[in-house]
Amino acid sequence: MGNLRFDALRQAMAHTPVAVAPIGDKVKDFFARDVFTRDRMKEYIAADVLEQLFDDVDSGRTIHREIADSVAIGMRKWAMDHGATHYTHWFQPLTGGTAEKHDAFFTLNKDGVLMEEFTGDALYQQEPDASSFPNGGIRNTFEARGYSAWDPSSPVFLIGDTLCIPTVFVAYTGEALDYKTPLIRSTAALCRAAREVCQYFDKGVKHVHANLGWEQEYFLVDEALYHARPDLMLTGRTLMGHASAKNQQLEDHYFGAIPERVLAFMRDLENEALCAGIPVRTRHNEVAPNQFEMAPVFEDVNLANDHNLLVMSIMDRVAQRHHFRVLLHEKPYAGVNGSGKHCNWSLQTNTGINLLAPGKNPYQNLQFVTFLVNVLMAVHQYNGLLKASIASATNEHRLGANEAPPAIISVFLGKQISEVLDKLEHATAEEAIIINAKKEMKLGVANIPEILVDNTDRNRTSPFAFTGNRFEFRAVGSSANCGAAMLALNAAVAEQLLNFKTEVDKLMEKGEPKERALFAVIRKYIVSCKAIRFDGNGYSEEWKAEAARRGLDCETNVPLIFDRYLLPEVVNMFHKTGVLTEAELHSRCEVKWETYSKKVQIESRVMGDLVINHVLPAAKRYQTMLLQNVLAVKQVFSADETATLNEQDYTIIRQIESHAGAILAGVDKMTDARHKANRQPDERSKAIAYHDTVLPVMAEIREHVDALEMVVDDELWTLPKYRELMFVH
């Protein structure tokens, strides 16, 4: 009889690097090869149509049907010239990931003759049979069907023979059923508010936009080993597995040389990503064995988010060519680092100024401090919401697990910026703002150090860190749609900027000069949001106590964290900024609770199957071998000798008996807890029950399984072990 695990190992060791053919000499020759870029549009679409289209897109206006018709014709021609036969609306349902429904580029006319066709209507709007997408109750009525609609601000692209059209996904009644719709609304709100505030400093600012640079972390695992681990296949993480004797203690993987087989995968992945117009630039090993990271150059937040979702699906596909599987789960292995998706976020004006970078003159610096402090205010007021925006059944295992951002949101500023704010806080207006005879302004106490970029301390324990010219939201999970976090941040900052403007204007109406009015409000803010600033060790126990004293949100129970979406001030903020209505917030929470319960339910079932079908049979087989040995010893040796000779066997036999008994009892308890949870009257109580009563039993069972792994004969163990999953490449 073969051992599943050894068969898988043999197969894994036989995999060699797959040769990757270069697709061009220089990146610029194939970058965005599969994208209908603005330049390419010029070859396929009339100039006046394009002028109107670009103008509408850049100013956020709706596209006219006639324009859409002309664009659709050009789009189809380009796509078919490049081998496309189908098109799809590509959208981001609340399940996470992306969804698509493919249609061919033809219809039959009334005489039954096949016509190649792709109309403006088909580009504009599609009605996916969306009843199976989660909607949290919004689409329960017959009228509330869902449709997907073209997002002209993100370019269409080809994947194989299919033209992919980025779209929003909304109900007929207008409610958003996806992540893209509110993300677009939130950037619009933020950019309007930021532009208004910019007018204090520069009347030339016409547009502000938000940037996102994501860093995607992931694990690779050999496909043969993956297939021998049903938990990885079905849940994306290992539900059991004893720690490997060596894992990341030596920190020899981080920034180490990339293994050849992995490098081949990365090259292939990067080539595909570059062809799709995703400007990937950085690749390196991460802290845990077989963990890696890729990052592109930052882009507009909506486009960057599309690109991240696209990369996640490209990764999956390319990995299979290399006999790997990509694990995007936040915590595939207990005891080693999990994966995040740091979201680098900044604001930029059409005049080329990064509003979160210290400037070249006093006005720009005052502007920088203004935006910095407003972000602090927003993060302070909505720290609970921001946590909810990154919370999930999967990220739950990573957060607060001692090597990831803690489950408390705080902001790291670094020594220099902290000093600037401290000085401003204690300065008088005269000290802070010096206006000389020539009416030039100087910032007296707030001389911002010139070179801050790359000069800020690298505090890895902070969930939200200022890194010189941007904020890095690190708590976001590796499998998440960044849109959830970005739209919460955008909306919170948008509302905050509106409040700021109201306060400054009020002072100016009372006759305060502009600089003094700005300074007065900034100083008030510096004082009132101090609690959110924390530069110390976010992993420490002291910080948890300190954060609670400061009144920060310290809830760690994920289903309860989702409640933050429904706090009155949060509902009000989303309403005021026009990002999400109360009904949409309720429906989102329903989906989040439902998804949470389903994920834990699946994990718990898989765990039950695995222990009954793999772990216990292996343990029992080994126990039987030991029992037979005991009997054999008795036959051969004298009674005195038998007692000592069998001592060790007895110990192991009893250990197996005790762990196996505990596992069986645990499985009963877990099944029972699941049944009780399923009977809860609503999604929220169900999720809470799964969290409070099912997860803890799973942890208990796991302890016994991992202990068995240590005693049972290696040859009988059927599941690939941690040392194999993490070190074979």
Binding residues for ligand ADP, rule: CB under 6 A, are: 211, 213, 215, 282, 295-298, 344-346, 354, 469-470
DSSP 288: S
Chain centroid to CA 195: 28
Q: How far is the CB of 190 from ligand ADP (least distance, A)?
A: 14
**Closer by beta carbon to Mg ion, 266 or else 366:** 266
37 contacts which partner out of ligand ADP, Mg ion, none, CB within 5 to 8 A by kind?
A: none
166 contacts which partner out of ligand ADP, Mg ion, none, CB within 5 to 8 A by kind?
A: none
295 contacts which partner out of Mg ion, ligand ADP, none, CB within 5 to 8 A by kind?
A: ligand ADP
Q: Which helix (H) or strand (E) holds 321?
A: helix 301-321
The residue count for the chain: 729
565 contacts which partner out of ligand ADP, Mg ion, none, CB within 5 to 8 A by kind?
A: none
**Closer by beta carbon to ligand ADP, 92 or else 211:** 211
469 contacts which partner out of Mg ion, ligand ADP, none, CB within 5 to 8 A by kind?
A: ligand ADP
**Closer by beta carbon to Mg ion, 454 or else 640:** 454
**Closer by beta carbon to ligand ADP, 312 or else 626:** 312
In whole angstroms, what is the distance from residue 711 CA to residue 716 CA? 11
**Closer by beta carbon to ligand ADP, 122 or else 375:** 375
Q: How far is the CB of 30 from ligand ADP (least distance, A)?
A: 20
482 contacts which partner out of ligand ADP, Mg ion, none, CB within 5 to 8 A by kind?
A: none
For residue 442, CA distances in Å to 70, 357, 366, 598, 664 come to 54, 18, 9, 58, 73
Facing residues of 215 across strands? Answer: 342
Q: How far is the CB of 354 from ligand ADP (least distance, A)?
A: 5
By the 8 A CB rule, do 191 and 208 touch?
Answer: yes
Provide the terminal-to-terminal Cα distance of the chain, rounded to the nearest Å.
Answer: 27
By the 8 A CB rule, do 248 and 302 touch?
Answer: no
Query: Collapsing DSSP states into helix, strand and coil, what is residue 529?
Result: coil
Q: 257, exposed or middle or buried, with CB in 10 Å at 0-12, 13-18, 19+?
A: exposed
By the 8 A CB rule, do 218 and 582 touch?
Answer: no
Q: Which of residues 330-349 bind Mg ion (CB under 5 A)?
A: 342
**Closer by beta carbon to ligand ADP, 318 or else 355:** 355
226 contacts which partner out of Mg ion, ligand ADP, none, CB within 5 to 8 A by kind?
A: none
Q: How far is the CB of 180 from ligand ADP (least distance, A)?
A: 19
Q: 604, exposed or middle or buried, with CB in 10 Å at 0-12, 13-18, 19+?
A: buried
Q: How far is the CB of 606 from ligand ADP (least distance, A)?
A: 34
Q: How far is the CB of 379 from ligand ADP (least distance, A)?
A: 16
213 contacts which partner out of ligand ADP, Mg ion, none, CB within 5 to 8 A by kind?
A: ligand ADP
DSSP symbols for 269-295? HHHHHHHTT--EEEEEE-SSTTEEEEE
Q: How far is the CB of 256 from Mg ion (least distance, A)?
A: 17
Q: How far is the CB of 474 from ligand ADP (least distance, A)?
A: 9
**Closer by beta carbon to ligand ADP, 297 or else 548:** 297
For residue 591, CA distances in Å to 184, 185, 598 come to 20, 20, 10
By the 8 A CB rule, do 705 and 612 touch?
Answer: no
Residue position matching structure tokens 């999720």: 687
CA-wise closest residue to 388 among 562, 560, 573, 136: 562
DSSP 517: H
Q: How far is the CB of 678 from ligand ADP (least distance, A)?
A: 42
Half-sphere exposure of 182 (CA within 13 A, CB side): 31
Residue number with the smallest Cβ distance to ligand ADP = 213
Q: How far is the CB of 647 from ligand ADP (least distance, A)?
A: 55
**Closer by beta carbon to ligand ADP, 209 or else 691:** 209
For residue 125, CA distances in Å to 57, 65, 604, 626 come to 17, 11, 40, 68
Q: How far is the CB of 467 from Mg ion (least distance, A)?
A: 8
**Closer by beta carbon to Mg ion, 189 or else 301:** 301
Q: Which tokens go with 636?
A: 């051969």
**Closer by beta carbon to ligand ADP, 89 or else 307:** 307
Residues 6+ positions from 355 with CB-CB distance below 8 Å: 194, 198, 208, 346, 347, 348, 349, 367, 368, 371
Residue position matching structure tokens 């990831």: 404
Q: Which tokens go with 394?
A: 């999967």
332 contacts which partner out of ligand ADP, Mg ion, none, CB within 5 to 8 A by kind?
A: none
298 contacts which partner out of ligand ADP, Mg ion, none, CB within 5 to 8 A by kind?
A: ligand ADP
344 contacts which partner out of Mg ion, ligand ADP, none, CB within 5 to 8 A by kind?
A: ligand ADP
Residues 6+ positions from 301 with CB-CB distance below 8 Å: 183, 187, 209, 210, 211, 212, 345, 486, 490
Total residues interacting with Mg ion, rule: CB under 5 A: 2
**Closer by beta carbon to Mg ion, 342 or else 674:** 342
Q: Which of residues 162-221 bind Mg ion (CB under 5 A)?
A: 215
Residues at the contact surface with Mg ion, assessed by CB under 5 A: 215, 342
